[in-house]
Chains A and B, each alone.
Chain A
Amino acid sequence: MKLSDLSHRLAQWLAGTGPLAEIVISSRIRLARNVAGFPFLSRCSEDQRRQIADTLQGAITAAGVLDDPLTVDVEQAVELDRQFLVERQLISRQHAAGSGARRMLANGAETVALMVNEEDHLRMQVLATGLQLESAYETIDRIDDAVEKRVAYAYSGRYGYLTACPTNVGTGIRVSVMLHLPALKMTGEIEKVFQAARDMRLAIRGLFGEGTEAGGDFFQVSNQTTLGRTEKQIIQDFREQIIPDIIQYEKVAREALVDRKTDVIDDKVFRSLGLLRCARLLSTSETLFHLSLIRLGVHLGRIRDLSLQTVNELFLFSQPGHLQKAAGREMTPDERAKARAEMIRAKLN
């Protein structure tokens, strides 16, 4: 698998086919691990970083856990490629912006991605479409076992898996779901969700952009506690205590919008569709705003000639790195606005 093979392809986790995909865009589970006998990265020499990277890459390859593998030397990759990987959620912004020897290994389906030398020596993630936390954990657990047969992890009986930041220590697990909550945002009830999430010690942040409000209707909810609970308990708490409530609130809010404000919601949804079908220049944030409403319209059955998958595709392909990869060159923001509008018109008309 090569990086260029991905530029016109939808990542599997964005297929829009998983359970509750109309609200839960994707589920993600990440494990943080470090190689025993080495300092954490802040205290590693460049030589040690490279040794760790080689050790882990060797172990992952030998474990044979990645089908049709894609390996990227992030240190050597050009900025555009790193941005492209961030947009596909194969690496974090931090990994893209880091320095020194660091790598990324993924499977061809892009459901598994392993970052080597990010904040910890190894960060493994599984991404799935819709709400699929248990199966995502099974996959990552199996990969973890296979890698661990070949590399000794830094581990203590008392503190569990030892991580560079004490907020990850213990299980090293981070469970997240990416949610699309346009109706709660529209009815102003989103604050209640934030409050409930905070009460449950979950972190919630805006997605597709910087800051909590960026991108408007997309939110990522993740656990913060990693110590003192088992992986299964953490996932179970997450899946049973808060996420079903948020999903239920959003469903009720969506139904209420259709029942009581049909004309208003139709007006919003079809204005957005009309605008994206005709616009000649589109910024990322404007695109995101309208795609969110279109996505809502598709789920509510107001827009019948588009699928969730097509809308998800547009989310991905309209991002700066993807537009430039598709064009095969770097572009200015003005050029991208034009290319973005062209690509969207072609898909929607």
Chain B
Amino acid sequence: MNGHKRKCDKCDRPATVHLTEIIDGQKLEKHLCEVCATQEGLTLQPTMGINQMLEEFISHTQQAKQLGELVCDHCGMSFLEFRQGGLLGCPHDYEAFATALVPLLQRAHEGAGEHVGKVPTHAGGDEQRQTQLLRLRTALKDAVVNELYEQAARLRDEIHKLETS
């Protein structure tokens, strides 16, 4: 504000609450200190000091940042990418993003976080085997992209062995 601090409209304290109202097309600006603003009923949370608010904000953004940094070591997808695209990269993401995903699941499914429905009876693979296959296939994809053909051949053999076991 042009380098100098504006004073409160009602007293001499520095103004920290700035409000613009438009009434009947007339623009009305108010600049108040926290005390006067509270008296006018303008501050939203008079009980929460600025430090507390900042602290909350920082912990929220830190948490958001940490969540954004979650990366699945199977498919390479980050939680941030998932939030942008809306689709997960592989079944293992449910484990890799669990901390961030569980609240989302609960919101989407009326508070529920666990499956109670049908269970596949003939599924050929337990979870461990599924995970291992997924890891091998991702490694194979990378090996092909990077033209590491010997490695790719080895991975193909491993996948075949696991598939037919």
List residues of A whose CB falls within 8 A of some B CB: 34, 36-43, 45, 47-48, 119, 141, 144-145, 148-149, 151-162, 164-167, 169-171, 173, 201, 224-231
Is the CB–CB distance between A170 and B109 below 8 Å?
yes
Of listed A45, A159, A225, residue having the most chain B CB within 10 A: A159
Given contacts A43-B77, A48-B141, A162 and B87 within 8 Å (CB-CB): no
Q: Which residues of B contact A153 (CB under 8 A)?
A: 120, 123
Does B75 lie within 8 Å of A162, measured CB to CB?
no
Count residues of B near A (Cβ-Cβ below 8 Å). 46
Cβ contact within 8 Å between B122 and A154: no
What separation, in Å, do the CA atoms of A26 and B163 have in the docked complex?
40
Chain A's interface: helix, strand, loop or mixed, by majority? loop
CA distance A160 to B95 in the complex (A): 13
Q: Which residues of A contact B75 (CB under 8 A)?
A: 39-40, 43
Tell me the B residues contacting A by CB distance below 8 Å.
Answer: 74-77, 85-91, 94-95, 101, 104-105, 108-125, 127, 129-130, 132-134, 137-138, 141, 144-145, 163
A-B contact count (CB 8 A): 152
The answer to whether B87 and A155 touch across the interface, beta carbons within 8 angstroms, is no
Q: Which of A156, A224, A226 contacts B91 (CB 8 A)?
A: A156
Query: Are B108 and A229 interface neighbours, CB within 8 A?
Result: no
Query: Do A166 and B121 form a contact, CB below 8 Å, given A39-B134, A47-B144, A157-B115?
Result: no
Q: Would A231 and B117 count as touching, CB distance under 8 A?
A: yes
Whether the pair A38, B76 counts as a contact (CB closer than 8 A) is: no
Note all chain B residues with C-beta closer than 8 A to A165: 86-88
Q: Which of A144, A229, A231 has the most CB of B within 10 A?
A: A229
Indicate if the CB atoms of B111 and A228 lie closer than 8 Å: yes
A36-B91, A225-B109 known; A158 and B115 CB under 8 Å?
Answer: yes
